[in-house]
Chains A and B, each alone.
Chain A
Amino acid sequence: MTLAVIAGAGMTKFGKQAERTIEDIGREALIAAMKDAGVDRAGIDEVLCGSSYGGPLIGQRILRDLGMTGIPITNVENACSSGAAALREACWAVKAGRADVVAVLGVEKLTKLGGGTLPLEPTDVEVNLGNVMPAVYAMRARRYMHETGATARHLAMIAVKAHEYGARNPNAQFQNRITIDDVMASRMVADPLTLYMCCPTGDGAAAVIVTSEKRARELGAKTVRVEASVLQSGLYKTGFRDMASSELTERTSRLAYEAAGIGPQDVSLAEVHDAFASAEIMYYEALGLCHKGEGAAMIERGDSGPGGRQPVNPSGGLACRGHPVGATGVAQIVEAVWQLRGEAGERQVPGAKVALTHCTGGGISGLDHGACSVHVLTS
């Protein structure tokens, strides 16, 4: 069932932009998306703004200097899924007929935090005892490796593939190619994850214009259809939980496939939440792109790389495009739009018809993740 269409997309280059304000970064992406859609200020009925560390009224602060005030502006915080969750609200606003044209913005400036691991909530029991996001993923990675026989070398292959794609993306934070030895020799962050297996922190924004098929035709915009927009939260378990798989991603993607009326085999390309290299391997399985326990084989075969059966993270992913937390979910959509329109340049997936985007995150003890969101887009 088509929920809405994306009629325009735009983003800033991702990376450290400490000299710019978050408002300025956000405006650049929004203006690019509006120009792409051929819509002017008066044509936007509502704005949804996803950000995790942007602070109060982030959307209003960005829109004020554009004179886009008076309209409904909703700020959405859902950790790494903030931008994707904002998009979901926009899609349903259009589907329900509440708004005709909605601008969705994801924006973040992490350089203001001064580097290191992302700050987590001090009320959380695990945070008090020293848990950090890299360790959350590292512990899952170790259990996954223990159960499947995957090795640190497989994780390094993911990082090498991410950099190969990053080198083809002019908006990526990292555009350099690296080798397996480089990854293995980079400094340890949380055993077994080395630095190059971890996404960087950075700044950036991405925006899309969501509307109905009818309105997009009137605008004369190139469109991509949103066939599924699903958001779920992690289940709280006080006891044992299988950490070698992601129940939350399995559940969310299953609902998205059902809504879109497709299966994993129909996916031309996927943008997945590779905050850490081990997560990408585990999500191949959770998203059904390969069988259980075969994630390492998928990267070994080259299925998810350039020229592969189902390229994953052709943008470079969180690892190389970068991960300004609240912007990521929208940046994934921007990449999917460009891929489906055949405008992805050197990293274009030939004949891309169906794109899946997957954003999950939020460190909260007892849960797989705080939020997970999956979108299915078609050309």
Chain B
Amino acid sequence: MNGGTSSPAYFPASRPWTEAGGMVRLHGSKCARCGVVAFPPHPMCPSCGAERGQHVVELSGVGTLYTFSEIHIAPKGFATPYAVGYVDLPEGVRLFGQIDAKASELKIGQQVAVTLGPVRADTGGAVISYKFKALAEGNAKGIA
């Protein structure tokens, strides 16, 4: 990836997200023909097969934790243990990602927010990507 030390590396390199007001909104693609939303943005619709008409849309910054785990054995570059999970967004997209929390603090069904941060170390330093952070109860909409 990025061999230099001055600028961080990102995954995906295209940085499919927008940061505004402390909120991170991932970019997905929405098919003009069937309406299916996919992440990361797809050049073709993986649902109906449409070859064009995939429009970039901003996805919700908050989703519901479908399931999770805490990984204790991982490939080089990942600092164990780390929590991971699948997060369901209202647009019908399910995202895999790391969660800034301990597994013992997490519950299926809770709200989590999209954030950015280091997910692993590469030869050139930290790799920044999207990940999740737990939201306090009753604070599902209040992004710090």
Footprint of B on A, CB under 8 Å? Answer: 116-117, 119, 125-126, 128-132, 134-135, 138-140, 142-143, 146, 187-193, 236-241, 243, 365-366
Chain B residues with CB under 8 A of A146: 67, 108
B12 within 8 A of A: yes
Q: List 20 A-B contacts (CB under 8 A).
A: A117-B73, A128-B120, A128-B127, A130-B98, A131-B96, A135-B69, A135-B84, A138-B69, A139-B85, A142-B68, A143-B108, A146-B108, A187-B72, A190-B70, A238-B47, A239-B93, A240-B66, A240-B92, A243-B66, A366-B46
Q: State the majority secondary structure of interface residues on B.
A: strand
* Interchain CB contact (< 8 A) of B11 among A128, A138, A240: A128
Total A-B pairs, Cβ < 8 A: 105
Could you say which residues of chain B place their CB within 8 Å of the CB of A142? 67-69, 108
Q: Is B61 in contact with chain A by the CB < 8 A criterion?
A: no
Majority SS at the chain A contact face: loop
Inter-chain contact B66/A143, CB cutoff 8 Å = yes
A contact residues around B129 at 8 Å (CB): 128-129
Instruction: Please give 15 more A-B residue pairs, beta carbons under 8 A apart, in addition to A143-B108, A187-B72, A188-B70.
Output: A116-B73, A129-B97, A130-B84, A132-B73, A132-B75, A139-B67, A142-B68, A146-B67, A189-B72, A191-B103, A238-B46, A238-B92, A239-B92, A239-B94, A243-B66
In Å, the complex CA distance between A142 and B127 comes to 28
On whether the beta carbons of B74 and A117 are closer than 8 Å, the reply is yes
Q: Mark B62-82, 1 if CB is under 8 A from A, else 0.
A: 000011111111110010011
B residues 7-41 in Cβ contact with A at 8 Å:
11-12, 36-40
Q: Is B68 within 8 A of A132, CB to CB?
A: no
Are A130 and B71 in contact, CB atoms less than 8 angstroms apart? Answer: yes
Residue in A134, A143, A193 whose beta carbon sits within 8 Å of that of B67 in the complex: A143
- The count of chain B contact residues (Cβ–Cβ below 8 Å) is 40
- Decide if B37 touches A134 in the complex (CB within 8 Å): no
Enumerate the 5 nearest inter-chain pairs by beta-carbon distance, A residue then B residue, closest first. Answer: A138-B69, A238-B38, A143-B67, A191-B70, A239-B92
- Determine if A190 and B71 form an interchain contact, defined as CB atoms under 8 angstroms apart: yes
Given contacts A143-B67, A238-B47, A239-B94, contact A130 B119 (CB under 8 A): yes
Assess A117 versus B94: contact at CB under 8 Å? Given A130-B119, A191-B70: no
Name the CB-closest residue of B to A188.
B72
| Chain B neighbourhood of A138, CB < 8 A | 69
Partner of B96, one of A126, A191, A240: A126
Q: CA of A119 to CA of B42 in the docked complex: distance in angstroms?
A: 25
Tell me the minimal C-beta distance from B61 to chain A in angstroms. Answer: 18
* Given A135-B69, A142-B108, CB of A125 within 8 Å of CB of B74: no
Contact B93 A132 (CB under 8 A): no
> A117-B75, A142-B108, A238-B47 in contact; A131/B94 too (CB < 8 A)?
no
Candidate in A125, A192, A243, A366 with the most chain B CB atoms within 10 angstroms: A125
Digit string of B41-63 for contact with A (CB within 8 Å is 1, else 0)? 01000110000000000000000
